[in-house]
Amino acid sequence: LKEHPFIYRGTRIEVTASLGVNTYTSTSLWDLNEFVHATDTYLYKAKREGRDRVESPMPEALMETDVTQDERRALLGGRN
């Protein structure tokens, strides 16, 4: 987001976001409350580590999900 500022009433505005990302599938072993709690933990880690970040489970875990290659690349910050 930060790389795509916009102009509002003549003022340049840069937007950043801190995100916590997780995956939930039909084979997940946790209930919805546990999933939300874990995802919330990633969000607060992103906020604690600095602005404009994405925190998620270890990258190896992403390889075992039904995440598309483009989604995986985005989650890993452009890396494969």
Mark 16-27 as b/e (b = at least 16 C-beta within 10 Å).
Answer: eebebbbbeeee
What is the number of structural domains in the chain?
A: 1
Cβ-Cβ contacts under 8 Å for 25 (sequence gap 6 or more): 65, 66
Does 7 reside within a domain? no
Does 13 reside within a domain? no
Q: pLDDT tens digits for 21-70? A: 888 888 878 888 999 999 999 999 999 988 888 888 865 555 455 556 67
What is the sign of the dihedral through the CA atoms of 58, 60, 66 and 67? positive
Q: How much is the pLDDT for 63? A: 47
User: CA–CA separation, 50 vs 19, rounded Å?
Assistant: 11
Does 2 reside within a domain? no
